Structure formats: structure tokens, C-alpha cells
Amino acid sequence: MLMRVVRSPWTILICTVAGTALGVVVALNTPKVYEAATDLLIDPRDLQILDREISQSGLSSDAALALIQNQMRIMTSGNVLNKVVDQLGLQDDPEFNGQASSGIDLNPLNRLRAALAPDDNGAPNPAIRRTMTIQNLQRHVQVTRDSATFVVTIWAKAQDPEKAARIANTMSSAFLETSARFQAETAGRATSELTGRLDELRGSVEDAERKVETFKAENGIVDAQGRLITDDEILKLNDQLSTARARTAELKARAATVGTLNVDAVVGGILPEQINSNVLAQLRAQYAALRQEADRLAVRLGPRHPQRLAADVQVGSARDQIAQELRRINSSVQVELSRAQQLEKDLSGRLETLKTRQGDLSGERVTLRELERDAASKRAVYEAFLLRSRETGEQENINTANINIISPASAPLQSSGLSRAKIVLIGLILGLGAGIGLALLRGVWDSLRQNATARSGQRRQPPVAAATPQPARVAAPPVQDSSIYPARAPSLKSEAPHFPWQATQEQPQPGQQWHDAVPPFSIYAAQSAQRLDPAQNVQPTAGFERSAVEEIRASLREFREAVEDLKESRRRS
């Protein structure tokens, strides 16, 4: 098989030259493509600016990955791509609006689509051009993420390196603007929903409070500062009654103490603390001075002396004044005691009256408390909605998304994909493989055709035994067992040589004659191409066919390995 390949050099050379030429054509008509990348860090934990955010900040790992996938889908959404087209003017760029002629298109699907597309006979519709621009831009960008990080990479391809970098950077900026706008729209939608409910809640609160006031007016229940006046009056009367009772007890004790006092006790220095009278103290001091002067005169003068008698009169007058002051104090204490007792009685009566009135309003008070609870709950809901609407309204102008550009795109220095030299080399290898394959197929076809020709020629020739008749000989018995059949020396005409393409012949039975199966060896060597039995349909040898198939398989395997090596080199580049 290898010799047949070597015998077809022109086929291999022509296919190799054709493959190389095709590679050159493809390389010259394939524009260079540059690829730029921008890296963004998307942290699912948003910035905690307020105590209560609109979205949930604490997420599980699966929810965080789903959030990252959503952000990646937004990057290639129509909103972002439309912004990129508008900012860079890609609608007028022939590379993206579908008006560029990039050489020969080798893709049969694209050629079929171009052949079946209707002829617009002029400039395309602006809407169609914009749609084509967005579709081409979507094919030129790609978003990927590392499996173990939250870093997302935006890849952009273009024929100009600066344009590829601008597309990647503009796409990242448009994504940040779109994400912030989505967040602001979410906050605005929440604010609108809350504001729409505020009017209804405000009306329900006003109705509830109006019911409370109407019920109070109908039942004569008046309150101040959120409490009923009757409750305040009862509390005040309780305090006053307690004070009056304490005052009455104090006056009773004082009256009892004053009632037990006499002049001798006061003169003797017994004066309780309850009786705090300055007049009584002065009288007692005056009495002490007069008594001391009378005692002094009694020692110097006689008992009938006028000065001593005058001193005794003064002492008696002082005692009378003390007794009179004691009576006055007792009378004053009794008057205060009577007043205190009367005040206590009055306060007790008023308190009983208020308690009776409050008991009469017990049923109305239950209804009033129910109305007040309903009004309070509606007021709390209204205040919560009002506060939340203010918070969400402020969040419309605050971007809490934790997304940062960690690596902006720069113009690449080298183009991506296969270089022109590699494309030419691939064409050369493919042409060489095609030439070798054609040579192998041609060799196999020639071999099969020769075998078919030989078989047809053998069928037309007479048998060899008929052409050269030989005398019949008695065949020796087959050597089966030396004890039964004696051994016979081999002879040229004793048995035919066995070849792979010959079928197994039946051995003669003992006593039968052997016939010549083949001519002498010299004749067989001269006529090796002829078959001994024309009735047999002899096929080519199985070993020959297997060797041919193995050579074809080896060639195809080498061709497949070459293609895989080219793919691997292209992937690494």
C-alpha cells in the first residue's frame, strides 16, 4: 500500500498545492480580529446605607450565584447593547451594520442565507440596520465568570484594537448605568405603591378617630391629654382624701395632747412638740423671771412686805396668762380638727359620686377602648407606610449596588485566533492529507479491479488437469494410524499443495485412487495466476484485504491527529 502511495506523487503534489493555495486565499480574505476584556467585581452584598433596605442583603450561596448570573444576563441585554450602539455610533459602522465586505465567506450557511435574502435595492431600513447592528454586536461580545470568584469579564471583538477596547469599556459603563437605573426604578415603584396606599390609610385613620370623638360626645365622656377627666378627678380626690385623713389624725393627736396640759405642767417645763406657740414660750419665760424675783424678795423681806406681795400678784397674773393661752390653743386645735373632719367627709362624698358615675359609664368605656384601639392600629400602619415611603423616596437617588470595575479594557497588541501563517499551514496539511487519501483510495481501487479481472480470465480458461492429462494412480491410504495403515513416502503427485484461497478438499477413502490435483511444480510456477478448479469462486486473500484496510486506517488516523494538533495550537494561541 505504501508503494502505491509513492507511485502517485502527482496526485499528492497537486492536492498539496491546491490546499496551500486555498489556505493562502482564506488567510488573505480573513480580517484580523482583536479582543479586549474588562473585569468587574460584582459583590452580592450590597452597601448597607439604611437600616431597612428594599432588597434583601443577606443571601445564600445559591442565591448569590443566581444574582451574579442575572447580572451577566443584563450585560448582554438589549438595553445595554442599545446604549453601546448609541454612544459609539455603531449603527453607522460597516463592521457591525452588515454593509462591510469581509472577503470570501466560507460558511455554507451564511452563503445560503445571503442567496435566499431578498434584495433591498438600496439602503436598508434604519430599523433593520439597527437590529442588524445589535445582533452583530451581540455576536462580538461575550461575558464569562470564574467559577470560584465573583469577577465577571466582558470580552469584545473588533477589527480595530481601539474599537474593541472602547466597546468593552462602554459596555461596562452602560451596565453600571442600567443597574443603577433598575435599582432606582425599583425604589420608585415601591415609593409609588406606598404613596398610593397613604391616601387610603389616611382616610381610614381619620374615620376611626372621628368615631372615637363622636362616641365621647354622645356619652358625655370628656378627656384631656389622652385621659378621661373623671379618671383624673378620681385620682386627685384620692390624693386629697389621703391628705385630709392624715391631717385629721394629726389634729386629733394634737387636740388630745393639748387637753391633757395644765399651767403647772407648762410652768414645770413640760411642753410637747405639737404645741409650737411663741406666745406660750414667752409667757413661760416671763413667769420664770417673776417667780425668781418673788423668791428673792421673800428671802430679803418679810411675808407681809408690800414688794413681796406685789411680786406674788405678778406671778399669779403670769399663771393666768399661761392658762388663758392654753385654752386658746385648745380651742384653735378643736376648730382645725372640725374643719379637717368636714373636709374629709366632703372629699369622701365627691369620690363616691365619681365612682358611681364611672360605674355607669363602664359599658361605654369598653366600646370607647375598642374604638381607640382600632384608631391606634390604623394610625400605626399609616405612620409606618409614611415613614417607609419617605425612606424609599430617598433611596431613589442612592446607588447601593456593590459593583466595581477592577480592570478597564486596553487596546490589545496582538490579534486573536489563527494567524495567516497557521491558516496557510493548515491548508498545506489538509491538501497533503487529501492527496495521500486519494492515493490510498486509488491503490485500493486498482487492486480490487485487478482481482476482478483475474477472476474473469480464470473463468474463461480450461482446467489445468484437462490441458495436461496425467495417468491415474492408485492413491495410498491416508496416514491415520501407523498400526492400521502403513506409512507411504510423499510424492509430488500424491497430494496437492494447500493455498489459502483453496477450500478444504475431501480426502479419499481407503482403497480409492488419488488423482493429480495440480500439475508439476514447474508448470504451477509458470501458471501461478491460474486456478486449479474452475468451478471454485476464488476470492482475494484475506491477509491482503486486511493489510489494505489497516493501511487506510493508519492514514486516516494520522490525518485525524494532525487536525487535532492544529485545533490545540489554535486554542493555545
Query: pLDDT (tens digit, 9 = 90+) per residue, 66-97?
Result: 888 888 898 888 889 999 998 888 888 888 88
State what percent of residues in the chain have pLDDT above 70: 64
- Number of domains observed in the structure of the chain: 4
Rounded to whole angstroms, how far apart are CA atoms 228 and 233? 9
Residue 249 grid cell: 389624725
Q: Residues 152, 54: one domain?
A: yes
60 belongs to a structural domain: yes
Backbone angles phi, psi at 545, to 5 degrees: -65, -40
CATH code for position 92 = 3.30.1890
Q: Residues 154, 66: one domain?
A: yes
129 belongs to a structural domain: yes
Looking at residue 302, what is its pLDDT? 66
Query: 122 pLDDT exceeds 70?
Result: no
208 belongs to a structural domain: no
215 belongs to a structural domain: no
Q: Residues 10, 88: one domain?
A: no
Looking at residue 571, what is its pLDDT? 75
148 belongs to a structural domain: yes
Which residue from 334, 333, 330, 337 is spatially nearest to 248, judged by alpha carbons?
337
Residue 479 grid cell: 496416514
Q: Residues 330, 438: one domain?
A: no
Q: Residues 183, 269: one domain?
A: no
Taking the CA atoms of the chain, what radius of gyration do you get in angstroms? Answer: 64
Q: Residues 38, 176: one domain?
A: yes
Q: Residues 42, 173: one domain?
A: yes
Query: 419 pLDDT exceeds 70?
Result: no
Q: Residues 11, 58: one domain?
A: no
Q: Residues 140, 39: one domain?
A: yes
Looking at residue 169, what is its pLDDT? 92
Which pLDDT band, with edges at 50, 70 and 90, does 384 fall under? confident
340 belongs to a structural domain: yes
Q: Residues 424, 568: one domain?
A: yes
Q: Residues 307, 261: one domain?
A: yes
Q: Residues 356, 441: one domain?
A: no
Task: Provide the residue range defining the domain that includes 470.
Answer: 462-475+511-533
Looking at residue 57, what is its pLDDT? 54
Q: What is the DSSP string of 301-328?
A: S-TT-HHHHHHHHHHHHHHHHHHHHHHH
Query: 473 pLDDT exceeds 70?
Result: no
What is the DSSP-derived secondary structure letter of residue 45? Answer: S
Looking at residue 390, what is its pLDDT? 78
383 belongs to a structural domain: no
Which residue from 447, 445, 452 is spatially nearest to 537, judged by alpha carbons?
452
Rounded to whole angstroms, how far apart are CA atoms 120 and 142? 31
389 belongs to a structural domain: no
Rounded to whole angstroms, how far apart are CA atoms 285 and 308? 20
Least-confidence region, from 85-89, 311-315, 384-388: 311-315
Query: pLDDT (tens digit, 9 = 90+) per residue, 250-301?
Result: 878 777 777 666 666 666 666 665 566 666 767 777 777 777 777 777 767 7
Query: 540 pLDDT exceeds 80?
Result: no
